[in-house]
């Protein structure tokens, strides 16, 4: 909601000063309020009496104007909406509006406002515990963490290492089942209702960091016919990649099933932003269900894929919970290149055996990194494996055994912060930890929600929207 700053008594924000525009200024009106009722996004609407581009410079009064932040610049026009991020609750701010015409800049007088406190339901969502912050690396202190609430109302959160909520986006009627931060500085997600399983949904939503919708595709629109689940990423700016539920109707009377029985498997789909299908793959292209002796028990969730990423050569890496495997799939032909894990074709060194993998991806050192639930031994861990495709062999890079009291049998993630430290999410424990390779915890974040994953975002990837 936006209110005119010249109308006393109708302010959303507490305005501490107001000056009329100077003579010669092309600004005719300024309105200020929250953007989409979000207390951490301030919207300034500016009207100019001539064509111009507009942006705002703003700063907290505590830090002073030597630490100015800048909003994105508007397109040339007469009406301009600017969204200010990196807002701290209950803080006094000053701002100036800058107009640009033919390269010439004009700066308004200084205006001030005070941000409000967070709503009650957003307070105390996160609690950080760090006995010795001096041991934390600088890139971690300056970076941010992305988490999401899967139940309605869905909320995506970005927090800092102190547990402070720095950004959020809330939905009505759906939850953020899966979120992914893209290189385009957007948040790409699968949305679903409470009636849908925890990591399953029927909508794709992409928003920018100002909270504006860039893409919204619902099941039934375009070529999107399947339920989506567990993973959504980008191939390019216009291509969205997701895991899907692939159903196969099959006669299972020979093993005691129905004549028209349903097996729920997994697939991969690539769509453009209009929902047009560009590529598709199904697990049924490679696996014969009848080779599963427990098919009648497993048919409702046969393989349970839970992560999808790109290898450095552009092919897919996909992990499966139910069969304890990770596959590499040719992203053009759909042919399975290799399988590792239980019953896989890769030769596994004895110290590389794992039970279930989540968030499998190639890390900065070129190793296959993933979170292992460790259901077989009731202890979760982080694996990094070296894959030799020439010899079809797998060797251990390192293995981090996590404390048994944060054992996490479902979901989870692990990402590299530097060569020695790793961010690990133990979803069902409502905790994210920073661990070294010895399994010693240096930092922990408790959350009211059970996050499916916790994703680390370096500060430079969020500029200019969030800064530390």
DSSP string covering 138-199, please?
Answer: HHHHH-EEEEEE-SSSPEEEEE-TT--EEEEEE-SS-EEEEEEE-TTSEEEEEEE-TTS-TT
**Residue 8 pLDDT grade (very low, low, confident, very high; cuts 50, 70, 90):** very low
Question: Which architecture characterizes domain 120-217+281-461 according to CATH?
Answer: 7 Propeller (2.130)
Please give the structure tokens belonging to residue 295: 């098919």
Q: By percentage, how much of the chain surpasses pLDDT 90?
A: 95
Question: Which architecture characterizes domain 2-114 according to CATH?
Answer: Sandwich (2.60)
297: part of which helix (H) or strand (E)? helix 295-298
Strand order in the sheet with 336-341: 305-310, 316-320, 325-329, 336-341
269 closest CA partner among 230, 234, 242: 242
Q: By percentage, how much of the chain surpasses pLDDT 70?
A: 95
pLDDT value at 414 more than 50: yes
Q: Do 431 and 448 meet the contact criterion of CB atoms below 8 Å apart?
A: no
Phi, psi of 356 (to 5 degrees): -140, 135
Q: For the segment 253-280, what is each residue's pLDDT rounded down to a tens digit?
A: 999 999 999 999 999 999 999 999 999 9
User: Using CA atoms, how far apart are residues 244 and 268, in angstroms rounded to an integer?
Assistant: 6
Please give the structure tokens belonging to residue 68: 């100015």
Q: Do 180 and 187 meet the contact criterion of CB atoms below 8 Å apart?
A: yes
The pLDDT score that the predictor gives to residue 319 is 98
Q: Do 311 and 360 meet the contact criterion of CB atoms below 8 Å apart?
A: no
The pLDDT score that the predictor gives to residue 7 is 30
Cβ neighbors of 138 (< 8 A, separation 6 or more) are none
Cβ neighbors of 49 (< 8 A, separation 6 or more) are 26, 27, 28, 78
Cβ neighbors of 108 (< 8 A, separation 6 or more) are 21, 22, 25, 27, 30, 96, 97, 98, 99
pLDDT value at 423 more than 90: yes
Cβ neighbors of 294 (< 8 A, separation 6 or more) are none
Please give the structure tokens belonging to residue 228: 């989506």
pLDDT value at 6 more than 60: no
Helical segments of 195-286, H only = none
Q: For the segment 181-216, what is each residue's pLDDT rounded down to a tens digit?
A: 999 999 999 999 999 999 999 999 999 999 999 999
Long-range contacts of 362-368 (CB under 8 A, 24+ apart): 362/309, 362/311, 362/312, 362/317, 363/415, 363/416, 364/416, 365/397, 365/416, 365/419, 366/312, 367/397, 368/317, 368/326
The pLDDT score that the predictor gives to residue 118 is 97
- Give the bridge partners for 94, in sequence order: 59, 112
Phi, psi of 352 (to 5 degrees): -110, 5
What's the whole-number mean pLDDT along residues 104-120?
96
Taking each continuous run of H as one helix and of E as one strand, the counts in the chain are 2, 36
**Residue spans per domain, the chain:** 2-114, 120-217+281-461
Q: What share of the chain is helix, strand, coil (3-state, %, to 5)?
A: 10, 50, 40
């Amino acid at each position: 909601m936006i209110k005119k700053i010249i109308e006393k008594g109708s302010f959303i924000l507490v305005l501490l000063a107001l000056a009329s525009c100077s003579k010669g200024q092309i600004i005719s009106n300024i309105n200020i309020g929250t953007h989409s009722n979000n207390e951490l996004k301030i919207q300034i609407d500016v009207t100019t009496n001539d064509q111009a581009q507009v942006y705002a410079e703003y700063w907290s009064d505590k830090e002073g104007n030597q630490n100015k932040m800048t909003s994105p610049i508007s397109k040339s026009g007469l009406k301009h909406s600017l969204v200010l991020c990196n807002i701290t609750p209950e803080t006094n701010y000053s701002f100036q509006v800058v107009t640009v015409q033919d390269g010439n800049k004009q700066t308004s007088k200084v205006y001030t406002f005070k941000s409000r406190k967070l709503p009650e339901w957003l307070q105390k969502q996160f609690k950080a515990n760090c006995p010795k912050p001096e041991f934390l690396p600088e890139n971690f202190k300056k970076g941010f963490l992305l988490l999401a609430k899967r139940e309605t109302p869905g909320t995506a959160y970005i927090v800092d290492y102190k547990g402070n909520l720095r950004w959020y986006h809330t939905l009505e009627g759906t939850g953020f089942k899966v979120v992914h931060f893209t290189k385009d500085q957007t948040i790409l997600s699968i949305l679903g209702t409470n009636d849908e399983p925890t990591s399953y949904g029927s909508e794709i939503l992409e928003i920018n960091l100002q909270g504006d919708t860039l893409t919204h595709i619902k099941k039934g629109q375009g070529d999107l016919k399947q339920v989506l689940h567990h993973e959504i990423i980008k191939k390019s700016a216009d291509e969205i990649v997701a895991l899907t539920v692939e159903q196969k109707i099959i006669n299972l009377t020979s093993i005691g099933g129905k004549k028209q029985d349903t097996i729920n498997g997994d697939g991969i789909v690539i769509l453009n932003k209009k929902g047009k299908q560009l590529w598709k793959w199904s697990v049924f292209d490679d696996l014969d269900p009848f080779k599963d002796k427990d098919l009648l028990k497993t048919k409702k969730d046969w393989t349970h894929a839970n992560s999808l990423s790109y290898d450095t050569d552009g092919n897919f890496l996909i992990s499966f919970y139910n069969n304890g495997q990770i596959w590499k799939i040719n992203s053009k032909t759909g042919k399975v290149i290799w399988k590792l894990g239980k019953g896989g074709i890769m030769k596994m060194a004895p110290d590389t055996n794992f039970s279930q993998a989540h968030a499998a991806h190639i890390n900065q050192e070129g190793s296959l990194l993933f979170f292992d639930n460790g259901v077989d031994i009731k202890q979760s861990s982080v694996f990094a494996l070296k894959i030799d495709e020439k010899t079809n062999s797998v060797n251990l890079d390192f293995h981090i055994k996590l404390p048994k009291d944060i054992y996490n049998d479902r979901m989870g993630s692990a990402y590299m912060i530097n060569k020695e430290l790793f961010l690990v999410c133990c979803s069902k424990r409502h905790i994210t930890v920073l661990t070294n390779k010895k399994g010693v915890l240096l930092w922990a974040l408790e959350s009211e929600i059970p996050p499916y994953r916790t994703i680390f975002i370096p500060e430079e990837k969020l500029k200019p929207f969030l800064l530390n």
